[in-house]
Every structure is written in structure tokens, then in C-alpha cells.
Chain A
Amino acid sequence: MATRNLMIVGVGGQGTLLASKMLGQLFLNQGFDVKVSEVHGMSQRGGSVVTYVRFGEKVYSPLIEKGEADFIVSFEALEAARWLPYLKMDGQIVTNTQEINPMPVITGAMDYPDDIIGKIKATGAQVDAMDCLSLAREAGSQKAVNIVLMGRLSKYFDLPEELWLEALDAVVPEKFRELNHKAFELGRNA
């Protein structure tokens, strides 16, 4: 099997690391070789962050380059646009529609582009966009955006749902299990 590439992109502090940890565990449990590359340090302070998840028979590079990602899971609309060049021509974007202003927009130097999701679709890319923040709140915590997105992503894989939930349980504390299962279901069935 050729190596499969997933990117998780968002804004520092949105919980992208937990999502990548869950995916890493999921694919490891299926017996794949896995590499997950994270960003720590300065970029975490509200900057654009990216995590690469790769799995297959044998994975060499920890990185994903332009035109190589099978999936981009984006926690924020503008970040989906920023990382779009990394998507394969036939790749799939799964994105939250939430908009978080970057500093050039806050200072008034630039505008947040109108209908950014529409602009991504206009390139011909396959986009699955949904309001994950509302679903996360419905599940009980706005912090569960990452798990809502994982639920949505799971629809694109031919893997039984129990395996996803098993990987989820391995990375989140037991006291939040119910909330996270609900967030996962809301994402998967939205």
C-alpha cells in the first residue's frame, strides 16, 4: 500500500496535537508504520500550525509536501486556504467553517477574505465544510472541535467506527469520554 498522507492544520491552541495523537494511535493499532510530525515552541502562540500524519507499510519522511496530502483536516477556514497547495489534486479537505482573525486582519492591514470556503471550492478541490464549533458546544465543550472533525474525517475511511472510538479513548481522559464520544458522533453524522 502506498503511504497515505493527512495534514491537520489550524491556529495554535486549537487542539491539533490531540487530533494527530488520536490518528497516530488509530493507524498504529491497524498495524501500519506511522509517523506524526508536530510543531512546538514559538509557532504555538496563536500562529498557523500544521501536523503531518503519514501511515503505510513503511514511512520514511515525517513531512508532507505540496501536492502530496490525501486529506487536509482544517480547524479554521483561512488555514484550509493557506495549506490547500499541499493537497493532492484528488485529495479531500474536511474543514471547520469557523473564522479566527490573524494579526494583519486585527491591525487592519488586511481583510479576512470573503467566502474563503467558496474560493477553495472554486479551485476544483473537494471540500467538506461544517460549523464544528456549534457542534462542539452541542456536545458540551467548545474545545471538542478537534473531535468533531475526527468524527467527520472517519466517514472517509473504510474502518469500523469502534476502532476510531478505541483510538479516541486511548488519548483522552476517561472523565471526558462521554463528551468526546458525543462530539465524534455529531461530526460523523452531521
Chain B
Amino acid sequence: MKQLMLGNKAVARGLFEAGCRFISSYPGTPSTEITEEAVKYDEIYCEWAPNEKVALEAAFGASLAGARAACAMKHVGLNVAADPLFSISYIGVQGGLVICVADDPGMHSSQNEQDSRHYAIAAKLPMLEPSNAQEAKDYVKKAYEISEQFKTPVLVKMVTRIAHSQSVVETEDRVERELIPYEKDQERVMMPAQAKRAHYKVEERTKALTAFAEEDKINRIEEGTDKAIGIITSSTSYQYAKEVYGDQYSILKLGMINPLPVEKIKNFAANVDRVLVIEELDPIIENHCKMIGVQVSGKDIFPLVDEFSQRVVADCMELPSKEFRSVDVQVPARPPIMCSGCPHRGIFYTLKKNKCMVYGDIGCYTLGAVAPLNAMDLNVCMGASLSGMHGFNKARGAEAERRTVGVIGDSTFVHSGMTGLANIAYNQSNSVSIILDNSITGMTGHQQNPTTGKNIKGDPAGQINLVDFCYALGFPKERVRIVDPYDLKQCDEVLKEELEVCAPSVIISRRPCALLKYVKHNPAYSVDSDKCVGCRSCMQIGCPSLSFVDGKAVIDATQCVGCGVCKQMCHTGAILDGLLTQSAVSGESKEGSVN
């Protein structure tokens, strides 16, 4: 049956059809939907792991047990999973093991633009690169065949524009696979003697895979009519090349990006006057071509930075550009912002007010960095807030300890903030670690995590108690504080106390994400325009429900969720609690709750 499928959904469909039994992943844009779609198939056990390293190790364990297994992650997740990646390349697999990694050229939702293809080369693993949803499904199934034939994990690389584009997919039935029997084989113990033998095997495997790349139709030539140019390309760049040139030039479309063929490329190049390599980000194909003595144009024409499109290709090839219109007025930018009622707002306002140095982390709360809060100095990678703050404080001493905080979300804390906090507890910097516990993994679209008490299906699961965890690390009870970020006074008092005290401390800012379905909202607040003096104090919190009309604050009742933070900013009592105004009108009290 033909269906329109998101690329990531097609990956999940491929996993299903291939008989995959086990998936462990950590969410990350643009990879998240792979696992969210896979969990809808009862035949596949799926879980959210605390991080990508754990996910890959778990998936490898399932492969060792003889099951077809998979994990999915974003490009920077593969950095976290890199340690097991390199070793399991040596050990090899039992059941097929597919590692789906989604790159984000253009950084739609990422902190860097790294090219995952380097990992395939470095870890000596085959990598497939689909160029649409149908290929995403087909290549996953192919990846399992390659995995089991060559006893190797296989990487399937997605990019945002394939992961998050829907295109037409023909589905097939699932083929069940029996578990491959487990047998003890101490060649899997990676001590030097075994590892040395394993490395020789890996090099032999790469030779065999190169021969496969020469022959298999996953690397295909589409003959063109004009031999002036031949294009070597892969992934989404193939689509842009076809969009611009149609069937004019011959194209060598590479579906397997590591290892790359040699003879196939040489033969292709021999039949055209000039070879063009079109690939996003780094010159992986280009450098390979040059290494095997094939002269090509690539990054001398096309950019190293940002995602491509048909326009990028056309502009670089100096083809005529299309006419367009534009308004002759500056259109204000519309950057992403914290939602109305976001529990992060109150704590970031408090940090701004106290002029803190804020060592940030990865999540929705990175939006604490944008105007008007501007309350984040930097962020690095998952978990770096607490460990980085520790180093900063150790280097600068008491002066820094009295104004520096690290902020980290609940999911990011479990991902890789726990070890940073352990370092603070162990090496004793007087650091203030703020855990922003909104009871969900927010930015990637509400995934459960080990602190929420629910598994990927929303069913009851084990739950890490963050307070008990801090106690277990040795934080005394009085140094583990819980605040409600809707209560600005409490946040301010507790922050000041913990910055002053000469001991490591943890503040847990606890309030569920305002977008969670079970969170009940209060009635919208309103502004008494007679009392509003237009001082703009309320505007300092950057709430999208607030605006200024004719010199007075106005609250958009369709957006306001009644968090009450703006009311605490107002010096003239002009902001009215929706709950009170409502009961005054109806003459009866109504119980309101945010939780």
C-alpha cells in the first residue's frame, strides 16, 4: 500500500518489516520520531534510555543475544555513544544491529553542524544514506542484511530534510526472525591480544565491504544525455541535483557512503568531461575521489556551511535565479520563545535579577538566553553545565562561587549531568546546581525519562527521586532546596542563600511543563488599565501573552495560562488574577490548581 510517510516513520517501518525486536534510544531532533513511531508496533520492544551511550550498549546487548536490534540518536548523540561504537565495530554483531543517526545541516535544532560520516570512517563501519522516505525504509532493511552478512553494526544516516519530510512509501509485511543462539566466545573480550586480532578482521571486513560497494545497486548510475558533467552525490543533495538538472547529466548516486567504491567512481568519471561532487557539509566523497586519483570539483564551488537546496546548487553553478517580491519594511524577526506559563521563566528572571553567571545546558531552557531575559552565558553540550561551572568556580574561587550557577533540565541531568554533580560533591566546589525539573523531556516534544515514573508507552515505570539522589551523593538535607518557579519571591530568597553559603548545593526548580496535557491551567489574568501606569515592569519576563497597546499592558486571554508571574512583577496592582475576577463575577469561589 502506498502511504505518505515522514522519513523517520519510514525508518521505523523498515525496522518493523526487517523483524527488529529491540530498540533503545535517547530523543534528539531530528531523530526522535524513529523511536516514537517504532513503539507503535507491538512486535518491537522500545525504550528511552538515559543517554545515547546506554542506548547503543543496550542495543548491542540485544544483538549479542541474537535479536535484530537498533538505536536512534541525533548527530551529537553519536558523540556520546562513540565509546561503545568503536569497540563494537571490533567485536562484531550476532543479530543485525542498525544505528540510526540524524544529522542537522543548517542547525534547525542543534548546537553544531558536525558531519556524522566521519564516524563511519573513524569506526570503520558501513554507513547508508537514504535520499527519501522510501529509501529510508529500504535502506534500513538492507542495513540488516549487510549487518548480518558482514557481522558488523551498520549506520543509517538521516538528515533533517529527509527525517522530517514526508514522501510516498510502499509498505510490506514484517518478516519474523528467530533469535540466533548465544555461544560464549572469548574473542569478544577486548583485551589487547583479542583486540589486535579483531582489528585485522575489521580491515578484512572493510575490503569485503568495498567489493560490495562496487557491485551492489545501492550505488547506482543514472545516465544523462549530456556528458559535459557527471555528478557524484548522495542523500538530500541528490534531490537538489535532480531538481536543478533533471536528466541532463549522468549521476552516480551513492547510497552507501562508507566504504566508498573505487572502480565504480573511476569508471563513472572516465565517461564524462568533468566530475562534480555535490554533498552537504564536509568533503567526504570529494576527498575520497581525490585520494583515488579522480579529479573533481566540490567544495571549491559548494559551501562547507549550512544545508543545501536547489537554490544553493543553482547559485553555485551560476544559473539564473528566480524573480521575487518583498515588502519595503523591516519584518521583525520571530525567534522561538518560552511558552506562556513556561516554568523556566520565573527562575531565569531570578537569575537575571541577581546578575548571575549562568552556565547553561541543552533543552527548552536554552531559550533563557534570548531577549528580554538574556540570562545564559553559554551552553556547550548535554550535561556540561554542572561540570563546566565546577571548573569555572575552582579557577576563580569565592568571587565566582557567589554569583555562578549551572542550570540543567531533568532529562539532561540524568543524561549526563549526574556525573558532573558527582564531581562537585567529590571535589567540593561551592557550586549552585539548579535542576529545572519540568517532569518531561521538553524540547524534543515530551518524552518520558527516568525521573517521570513512566516509560515510553506512558505506563508506570521505575522513577529516580532527584532529592534522594542528591542525598546519596552526600549533599546534606539543608543544601538540597526545592522551589516553585512560579513563586518569584521564594526563588529569589533561596538563590541568594545558596549563593552565599560556603558549600555545594542543589536547587530543584519544580513545576511541570505548561504544555503537558495533565497540567490544568488557571483562568487568564487581565490588566486593570486604570491602575496600569505603563512602567513595563511586567514586560521584563518576556511572556508572549503580554503586549503593550497605547502605553498600557494587555494580556492575551487566548494565550495566558494564569501562571501569575507577571502579577508579581507589577508594582501598582494592575494585573488581576483570573481566578479572583472570575469568582467575583460569578459570585462563587472556584478551586484552581496548576498541578
B584 within 8 A of A: no
If A34-B166, A37-B164, A41-B29 touch, whether A103 touches B240 (CB-CB below 8 Å) is no
Q: How far is the CB of A100 from chain B (nearest CB, A)?
A: 8
If A41-B108, A65-B309, A68-B322 touch, whether A84 touches B166 (CB-CB below 8 Å) is no
Near A by CB (< 8 A), chain B positions 364-388 give 364, 366-367, 370-372
B167 with A67: CB separation less than 8 A? no
Near B by CB (< 8 A), chain A positions 78-123 give 78-79, 81-82, 84-89, 101-113, 116, 119-120, 122-123
Complex CA distance for A102 and B132, rounded to whole angstroms: 34
Complex CA distance for A37 and B239, rounded to whole angstroms: 13
B474 within 8 A of A: no
Interface of B is mostly: loop
The one of B166, B322, B337, B445 that contacts A66, using a Cβ cutoff of 8 Å: B322
A129 within 8 A of B: no
Q: How far is the CB of A167 from chain B (nearest CB, A)?
A: 11
Complex CA distance for A119 and B543, rounded to whole angstroms: 28
Contact-residue bracket for chain A: 35 or more
The one of B2, B310, B324, B372 that contacts A61, using a Cβ cutoff of 8 Å: B310
Best-buried of B168, B325, B334, B338 by chain A (most CB within 10 Å): B334
Binds B, one of A45-53, A154-162, A181-189: A45-53
A67 with B322: CB separation less than 8 A? yes
If A102-B333, A102-B334, A109-B371 touch, whether A62 touches B165 (CB-CB below 8 Å) is yes
Complex CA distance for A87 and B32, rounded to whole angstroms: 32
The one of B29, B164, B167 that contacts A34, using a Cβ cutoff of 8 Å: B167
The one of B33, B108, B332 that contacts A102, using a Cβ cutoff of 8 Å: B332
Complex CA distance for A124 and B323, rounded to whole angstroms: 13
Q: How far is the CB of A47 from chain B (nearest CB, A)?
A: 4
Q: How far is the CB of A70 from chain B (nearest CB, A)?
A: 13
A106 with B546: CB separation less than 8 A? yes
A44 with B336: CB separation less than 8 A? yes
A-side contacts of B331, CB under 8 Å: 78, 81-82, 113
Complex CA distance for A25 and B546, rounded to whole angstroms: 37
If A47-B334, A60-B239 touch, whether A36 touches B539 (CB-CB below 8 Å) is no
A-side contacts of B542, CB under 8 Å: 103, 106-107
If A101-B544, A123-B326 touch, whether A40 touches B29 (CB-CB below 8 Å) is yes
Complex CA distance for A78 and B544, rounded to whole angstroms: 16
B-side contacts of A111, CB under 8 Å: 332
The one of A13, A34, A66, A86 that contacts B168, using a Cβ cutoff of 8 Å: A34
B165 with A103: CB separation less than 8 A? no
How would residues 534 to 573 of chain B score, 1 for a CB under 8 Å from any chain A CB and 0 otherwise? 0010010011101110000000001000000000000000
The one of B166, B321, B323, B335 that contacts A24, using a Cβ cutoff of 8 Å: B166
B-side contacts of A28, CB under 8 Å: 2, 4, 168
B390 within 8 A of A: no
A78 with B539: CB separation less than 8 A? no
Complex CA distance for A34 and B167, rounded to whole angstroms: 6
If A40-B29, A41-B443 touch, whether A46 touches B337 (CB-CB below 8 Å) is yes
Complex CA distance for A62 and B324, rounded to whole angstroms: 20
What residue in chain A is nearest B543 (Cβ atoms)?
A: A106
Complex CA distance for A84 and B162, rounded to whole angstroms: 25
B109 with A42: CB separation less than 8 A? yes
B-side contacts of A40, CB under 8 Å: 29-30, 32-33, 108-109, 164, 445
A128 within 8 A of B: no
Best-buried of B243, B324, B326, B539 by chain A (most CB within 10 Å): B324
A-side contacts of B366, CB under 8 Å: 42
A38 with B6: CB separation less than 8 A? yes
Q: How far is the CB of A83 from chain B (nearest CB, A)?
A: 9
A19 within 8 A of B: no
A-side contacts of B335, CB under 8 Å: 47, 102-103
Complex CA distance for A104 and B337, rounded to whole angstroms: 11
B593 within 8 A of A: no
B334 with A79: CB separation less than 8 A? yes
What residue in chain B is nearest A137 (Cβ atoms)?
A: B558
A36 with B325: CB separation less than 8 A? no
A38 with B165: CB separation less than 8 A? yes
B539 with A107: CB separation less than 8 A? yes
B30 with A41: CB separation less than 8 A? yes
Complex CA distance for A164 and B505, rounded to whole angstroms: 59
The one of A38, A59, A86, A119 that contacts B327, using a Cβ cutoff of 8 Å: A119
B536 with A108: CB separation less than 8 A? yes
A11 within 8 A of B: yes
Complex CA distance for A60 and B543, rounded to whole angstroms: 41
A35 within 8 A of B: yes
If A45-B364, A84-B327 touch, whether A62 touches B322 (CB-CB below 8 Å) is no
Best-buried of B239, B243, B370 by chain A (most CB within 10 Å): B243
A37 with B165: CB separation less than 8 A? yes
B327 with A39: CB separation less than 8 A? no
What residue in chain A is nearest B445 (Cβ atoms)?
A: A40
Complex CA distance for A124 and B366, rounded to whole angstroms: 41
Complex CA distance for A113 and B328, rounded to whole angstroms: 11
A33 within 8 A of B: yes
Best-buried of B321, B323, B325, B546 by chain A (most CB within 10 Å): B325
The one of A61, A84, A107 that contacts B371, using a Cβ cutoff of 8 Å: A107
Best-buried of A38, A108, A112 by chain B (most CB within 10 Å): A38
If A34-B167, A102-B332 touch, whether A25 touches B4 (CB-CB below 8 Å) is yes
B334 with A45: CB separation less than 8 A? no
Complex CA distance for A170 and B367, rounded to whole angstroms: 36
B-side contacts of A81, CB under 8 Å: 327, 329, 331
If A45-B364, A46-B339, A65-B309 touch, whether A85 touches B167 (CB-CB below 8 Å) is no
If A28-B168, A36-B4, A65-B322 touch, whether A105 touches B547 (CB-CB below 8 Å) is yes
A-B contact pairs, 9 of them (CB 8 A): A38-B166, A42-B366, A43-B336, A60-B243, A62-B167, A63-B240, A65-B309, A101-B547, A120-B327
For the A-B complex with A38-B164, A107-B372 known, give 13 more contacts whose Cβ atoms are closer than 8 Å. Answer: A35-B167, A37-B161, A40-B33, A42-B108, A45-B338, A62-B236, A62-B239, A84-B324, A103-B372, A110-B332, A119-B329, A123-B327, A125-B325
Identify the B interface with A (CB < 8 A).
Answer: 2, 4, 6, 29-30, 32-33, 108-109, 132, 161-162, 164-168, 236, 239-240, 242-243, 309-311, 321-339, 364, 366-367, 370-372, 443-445, 536, 539, 542-544, 546-548, 558
Closest 9 CB pairs of A and B: A41-B109, A67-B322, A41-B29, A47-B336, A102-B334, A62-B165, A65-B311, A67-B324, A48-B334
